[in-house]
Amino acid sequence: MQPPTARPQSIQPTVDEELGPVKLNTYDLGVQLEDTTASIFQKMGYSVEKRQRVQTKSGATAEIDILLVRGIRRRAVECKNYDQSRSVGIQDLRVFKDKLGDTGIASGIFVTNTYFSEDSEKLANSTGIELWDGDKHREKFYAYAIGRIKNPSLVQDPILPLTLDFSSASSLSLRNNQSVRLFSSVLLYHPYFLIKHRLQAIRKDPTGKSHTITDSGTYFVDALDGEIINRERGVVENIAGLFKKKEERMESREDKMVSEDLERIVPISKPVLSSSDYQVSVAEPEVTEEDAARIVKAHVAEKNRQDVRYNAKVKGEIETRSFRVLPRLSEVSIRGTKLVYVPKWDLEYESGQASFSRRFLASSGRTLEDGLAKCQKCTLLKKETVAVCEVCGTPLCEKHAYQEGGWMCEDHISDKLREETKGTGFLSKFKLGRG
Ligand SMILES: [Zn+2]
Ligand SMILES: [Zn+2]
């Protein structure tokens, strides 16, 4: 595989020009979305065919961006390459869902370089379509060593300790664990900069009185894309353009969880070990420490724009007025920077016709994503999975799991059992009673 194209991207400073533009050496996801996605799945162990025409039930053909094949499993991948400000909407998901239905491909993955709207996420959730937004794609890009990675033995920077080990991360607690197979496991070390800052801006109001604005704290900057992941500490004003996208990203659940781990868990200096059980990928930072510091400075200055009130005497009366303070980048000082690696498990399982992703923060052990956790036959409130169907692989809850030899979904039990259980309204109890 070729290394990602490092295309310098310039971002205009928002407050003043004194530090010049912030340059990000980030990979050009836009152009290569389909290619990189295909490479990721190839590394995962799929055979991939791009731009594949597949027969539909009506006899016509439909084009699949990437068709994945692994044993008896076929999966369709849809790639949508959008402008940074545009999200994937429900209409895009509907079209893909219909395509899956028409072609009879049971499993679908929708990949974008941006993000998904809330209703498109809901639709995906109810139909079992796996979603990869820009952040997830980027993680996979490095996890599967397509992005720049470094030799684990050369890691000098501190890491969050690995508390959730491989056997705990990969273990399942289903009634038929043997029907689910782990086929790809990666421990990804994702780099983040911890940047301590302090702002002090002193301004005189028109009456000559001094006002001091101070702010200090630590920001975490994703070293793969230059985004601040813990921005939520009160953004004063939302300036159009640059900060728009970042405000949206602020809501990312994964960023929030990583930030919490970086706040609570003390990094250690310990060698990163390789293992024969899983692949270890250590991502090289794509953003320099200097640029991460500039990004923080710009954000702090921006965030602390404010109107300061003062009392003026007008015609003998005291009147409250305000004046605007725009902190300068030079008034933000950087009190320290540190690169810390956060380990994340990225596990892929397969069962029957189905495949599942499970991702965990390896330090706190918290779940980022678990495609196996919830029953796919439940419609609204999805219950916890107790077994998978041994024919199709669908995760099933207590109510939707039937035992007939092995564990089955309703579609795969015999006509006889279906007939027997028909009309009882309590299928699972009936079935469980018979053991
Ligand atoms: Zn269910
Ligand atoms: Zn089934």
Q: Is the pLDDT of residue 428 over 50?
A: no
Residue 26 CA to residue 223 CA, distance in Å, equals 10
Chain centre to alpha carbon of residue 350: 21
d(CA 44, ligand 1 centre) in Å: 29
Name the residue with tokens 């669908």.
394
Return the bridge partners of 191, or none: 341
Cβ within 8 Å of residue 60, ≥6 positions away: none
Q: What's the pLDDT tens digit per position in 144-158?
A: 988 788 888 889 999
Chain centre to alpha carbon of residue 431: 39
- Identify the nearest ligand to the CA of 402 by its number: 2
The residue ranking higher by pLDDT, 11 or 318, is 318
Residue count (the chain): 435
Residue 245 CA to residue 259 CA, distance in Å, equals 18
What's the pLDDT score for residue 82? 83
Q: What's the pLDDT tens digit per position in 31-83?
A: 488 999 999 999 999 999 999 899 898 888 999 999 999 988 899 999 998 87
Q: Is the pLDDT of residue 4 over 80?
A: no
What's the pLDDT score for residue 28? 53
- Identify the nearest ligand to the CA of 389 by its number: 2
Tokens representing residue 268 in the block? 């250690």
Q: In b/e form, how buried is each residue of 122-146, taking b as 16+ CB within 10 angstroms?
A: ebbeeebbbbbbbbbbbbbbbbbbb
DSSP output for 76-107: EEEEE---TTPPB-HHHHHHHHHHHHHHT--E
Beta-sheet pairing, 306-314 with 279-283 = unpaired
What's the pLDDT score for residue 257? 95
Nearest-CA neighbor of 370 among 360, 361, 382, 380? Answer: 360
d(CA 411, ligand 2 centre) in Å: 5
Mean pLDDT computed over 204-210: 93
- Phi-psi sector, 178: left (phi>0), alpha (psi -120 to 50), beta: alpha
- Identify the nearest ligand to the CA of 396 by its number: 1
What's the pLDDT score for residue 433? 43
d(CA 395, ligand 1 centre) in Å: 8
- The structure's pTM equals 0.83
The structural domains of the chain, with segments of one domain joined by +, span 1-147, 148-371, 374-435
Q: What's the pLDDT tens digit per position in 165-187?
A: 999 999 999 999 999 999 999 99
3-state class percentages of the chain: helix first, strand second, coil last, to nearest 5: 25, 35, 35
Sign for the CA dihedral angle at 198, 202, 203, 209 comes to positive
Tokens representing residue 365 in the block? 């052990």
Q: Which CATH number is associated with domain 1-147?
A: 3.40.1350.10
d(CA 384, ligand 1 centre) in Å: 7
Nearest-CA neighbor of 293 among 214, 190, 193, 217? Answer: 193
- Provide the pLDDT confidence category of residue 20 given band limits of 50, 70 and 90: very low
Sign for the CA dihedral angle at 360, 336, 228, 215 comes to positive
> Range with the lowest mean pLDDT among 77-91, 116-130, 219-233, 247-261?
247-261
d(CA 304, ligand 1 centre) in Å: 49
The residue ranking higher by pLDDT, 13 or 338, is 338
d(CA 413, ligand 2 centre) in Å: 8
d(CA 148, ligand 1 centre) in Å: 41
